[in-house]
Amino acid sequence: MEMLLRARDLTKRYGTFVALNNVSFDVTKGEVVAVVGPNGAGKTTLVNTLAGLHVPDAGDVLFEGRSVVTLPPAARARRGLARSFQLVSVYPSFTVSEMVAVGAFSRRGRTFNMLRPASWFEPERSEIASVVEAFGLSHRLDTLCSALSQGEKKLADIASAMTLRPRLILLDEPTSGIASSDKHRIMERLLAATESLGVESLVLVEHDMELIARYATRVIGLRAGEIVADLPPSQFFGDPDVIESIVGKVPGHAHG
Amino acid sequence: MKNILLIGLFVATVLCSPFVVSPYYATLVITMFGYSIALMGLNLLFGYGGLLSLGHAMFMAIGAYTVGVLGSKMGINSFEVHLLAAASVSGLIAAVLGALCARYTTIYFSMLTLAFGMIFHSFLFKFYNLTGGETGISVARPSLFGHAFSEISKTRFLTGPFYWYSLVLFLVLFALMALIVKSPFGQALRAARDNPQKTEFLGVPVLRVRYVAFVVSAVYCAIGGAILAVSIGAADPELAFWTQSGNIVFILVLGGLGQLFGPLVGSATFALLQDFLMANTQYWRFAFGALLAIIIVVAPRGVVGLLARGFGGRR
C-alpha cells in the first residue's frame, strides 16, 4: 500500500515536559486512523506537529515521501495535507461559499489576485458548489457562517479544507460539541463527503469509543507522549487490558 | 438600494459643487477626496485586515512631502510624476517597515506603527534642508497632463482643473479598491482577520497577505496626501504628527469601518462637521470626542451603517 504520511521519531518538549516522545507511525492510503489517549497524552500536539503548527524538537514528518517538517502550515495545506480544529472555527462574517473559496484560491496560487472579484472565477465556483453539496450544505451556500447550527458549522469547517483537495486530512475531534444523537449522522456525512472528494486517508483524534469502533480501521493509543498501542479496532477493543491501560477506567479520564 | 442612493447623492454633489457652492466649499470637497483616498488604504488594512495602524499619517506626509520636494526643490512640476513618485516612495518605505510590522497584530502592530510614525515625524525636523523643518515646505501649483494653467488664479485652478483631476483619481482608486476587497486577495485578508490560524491551514500565507495589504494601504495614503498637499499649498510636519494618525482612524470609524463607502462617507461627514463646528464653537474637539463615543455605542458600523438603517437596507 502506498504510504501517504510518515511520522518518524517525533519528539516535542515544552520546557522539561515531554509532549511527544519518539513517536513513529505510517499512514497508508485508505486508512482511517483514530488517535486515542487520556488528556495530556499529546494527541493535539501530534496533530499540530503533523500539520505544521509546531516544529518538533527532533524527528521528521514525511508527506508523499518528502519531508515537510520545515514547511509552514500553509505550504503543507497547499500540498494536500489538511486539518480541521477541535473547536469549531468558521469565519463569522463569511458566507459558506466565501469560506470554502479560500482554499480553492490558495491551491491554485490565486490568493494574491487582486484585480478580479472572487465570484467571477468559474472553476472555483463550480468546485465550491460541488464540495458544499457533498457536505449537504447546498442550501446554505449564501448563509453567513455565524448563522449555521453547531453541526452545520462543523461540516462547513471541514468542507472549507476540502477545496485544498487534500489526500489526507487530520481531524481534531470532529464531533466534539455535538449532541451524541447527532454524532453518527455528522460522522457518516463527513466520511462519505471526504471519500467522494478524493480524500484517501483520515487521521482523527476522538474520544467517543463507539464512533472509533465503528468507523476507524486502526487505533493508535497515546499515553504520556508515547505510542503504547497500534492495533486494528477489533483487537484494540477486544482486549480490556489495552483499553484500560490507554484510555483508563477512572471516571473523568475517558472524556473531556 | 443603499448603494444606489449613496452613489446618486455623491454624483450629484461632486458634479454640482464647483458650479454651485463657493470656492471655499469646492476646496473642501478636494480635501474630502484626498482624505477618502488615504482612508481607503487605511480601511483595507484596518477594516478588512484588522490591523490598527497608528502611524499611517506618515504615509500621507510622505505623499505630501514628495509633491513639495519635487515641485519646490527640484523644479519638477508634473503632477503625474509627483503621484508616481509619492506612490513609489511610500510603497518602498512601507515595504521595508512592513517586513517588520506585518509580523505583529493587535496592540503590538499599533505600537510599532506609532513608533515608526514618531520617528518619521522627527526626521522631518532633522533633515531641515529637504523638509523645511518646523515650517515645512510650500507646494507650488503642479501641472496636470503638461498644462500649467498659469493663466488662471490659484483658486480657479483648485476649483477647476484640479477638482476634476482629483475626482477622476478618486473614482479610479475607489473602483480599484472595490475590486481589491472583493478579490481572492480581499477575501484572504478578511479571513486572516477573522481567524489567522485557520486561514494559514487553508493554504494562505497570512503574513504575506498582511504585508501586501500594508504596502497597498501606504500607497493609497501617499496619493491622498499628495492631493491634500496641493489643496493646502504646503506640506508641514503637522501632517505626520501622531495625532493625525489617530485623526484618520477616527474619520474611518466615523464613516464605517470595513465598509466600502466608509472612507468617503467618513471624510465627507468629518469635513462638513469640522467646518460647521469650528465656525460655531471653539469646543469643536469636545463635540468630536462626544460624537466618536456616540458612534461607537449606537452605530458601530458608522454613518454608513446609520444610513443603511435609515434606508431600511439589509446591512
Residue A100 one-letter amino acid: V
Whether A161 is covered by a domain: the verdict is: yes
CB of B239 within 8 A of CB of B60? yes
Range of the domain at A65: 3-246
Q: Which of A22, A55, A185, A110 is nearest to B187 (CA)?
A: A110
Whether A253 is covered by a domain: the verdict is: no
Whether A78 is covered by a domain: the verdict is: yes
* Alpha carbon B2 to its chain's center: 23
CB of A141 within 8 A of CB of A125? no
Distance CA A172, CA A194 (A): 15
Look up the pTM and report it.
Answer: 0.88
State whether B203 and A78 contact (CB < 8 Å).
yes
Residues B137-177 pLDDT 10s: 888 888 888 778 778 888 888 888 899 999 999 999 999 99
Q: How many Cβ pairs closer than 8 A exist between chain A and B?
A: 106
Give the best residue of A102, A124, A157 to mutate against chain B (max B CB count within 10 A).
Answer: A102
State the average pLDDT over residues B273-287: 82
Please give the pLDDT value at position A251.
41
Q: Contacts of residue A111 in chain B, CB cutoff 8 Å? A: 184-185, 188, 203-205, 209
State the average pLDDT over residues B208-216: 96
Residue with cell 470637497: B29
Q: Contacts of residue A89 in chain B, CB cutoff 8 Å? A: 195, 197-198
State whether B209 and A112 contact (CB < 8 Å).
yes
Touching check for B204 and chain A: CB below 8 Å? yes
User: Each residue's pLDDT tens digit in chain A (256 positions)?
Assistant: 688 999 999 999 988 888 899 899 999 998 999 998 888 888 889 999 999 999 999 999 999 989 999 999 999 999 999 998 877 788 999 999 999 999 999 999 999 999 999 989 888 899 999 999 998 899 999 999 999 988 888 889 999 999 999 999 999 888 887 888 888 888 888 888 888 988 999 999 988 888 888 889 999 988 888 888 888 888 888 877 777 777 665 444 444 3
Provide the strand spans (E) within chain A.
3-14, 17-28, 32-36, 58-63, 66-67, 81-84, 168-172, 201-205, 218-223, 226-231
Touching check for A234 and chain B: CB below 8 Å? no
Interface of A with B in 17-36 (CB under 8 A): none
State whether B190 and A101 contact (CB < 8 Å).
no
Q: What is the percentage of chain B residues whose pLDDT exceeds 70?
A: 97
Exposed e or buried b for every residue in B85-97, given b needs 16+ CB within 10 A?
A: bbbebbbebbeeb
State whether B179 and A115 contact (CB < 8 Å).
yes
Whether A254 is covered by a domain: the verdict is: no
Q: What is the percentage of chain B residues whose pLDDT exceeds 90?
A: 44
Domain spans of chain B, in order of start? 22-240
Distance CA A144, CA A184 (A): 25
Domain count for chain A, please give it: 1
From the CA atom positions of chain A, what is the Rg in Å?
Answer: 18
Residue A81 corresponds to which cell in the numbers above? 495535507
A56 CA: distance to closest CA in chain B (Å) = 18
Whether A198 is covered by a domain: the verdict is: yes
CATH (domain of A98): 3.40.50.300
State whether A107 and B203 contact (CB < 8 Å).
yes
Smallest Cβ distance to B183: which of A85, A107, A118?
A118
Total count of residues recorded for chain A:
256
B231 CA: distance to closest CA in chain A (Å) = 30
Residues B175-203 pLDDT 10s: 999 999 999 999 999 999 999 999 999 99
Whether A256 is covered by a domain: the verdict is: no
Residue with cell 500539520: A51
Please give the pLDDT value at position B101.
87
Q: pLDDT at residue B59 above 50?
A: yes
Residue with cell 513618485: B85
Chain B: residue whose CA lies nearest to A97: B187
Residue A168 sits at φ, ψ, to 5 deg, of: -140, 140
CB of B193 within 8 A of CB of B44? no
Distance CA B202, CA A74 (A): 6
Give the best residue of B181, B199, B201 to mutate against chain A (max A CB count within 10 A).
Answer: B201
State whether B203 and A89 contact (CB < 8 Å).
no
Touching check for B187 and chain A: CB below 8 Å? yes
Q: What is the mean pLDDT of chain B?
A: 87
Please give the pLDDT value at position A249.
53
Q: pLDDT at residue B287 above 70?
A: yes
Q: Which of B44, B37, B86, B45 is nearest to B64 (CA)?
A: B86
Please give the pLDDT value at position B136.
80
Q: Contacts of residue B190 in chain A, CB cutoff 8 Å? A: 91, 93-94
Distance CA B57, CA A27 (A): 54
Give the best residue of B48, B180, B183 to mutate against chain A (max A CB count within 10 A).
Answer: B183
ipTM of the modeled complex: 0.86
Whole-Å CA distances, B151 to A198, B30, B68, B82, B146:
72, 21, 22, 22, 14
- Identify any residues that bridge with A170 across adjacent strands, giving them in sequence order: A83, A203
Chain A: residue whose CA lies nearest to B208: A112
Distance CA B51, CA B41 (A): 12
Residues 6+ apart with CB under 8 A from B144: B79, B80, B161, B162, B165
Smallest Cβ distance to A93: which of B190, B204, B209?
B190
Residues 6+ apart with CB under 8 A from B98: B211, B214, B215, B218
Round to the nearest angstrom and report the end-to-end CA distance of chain B: 11
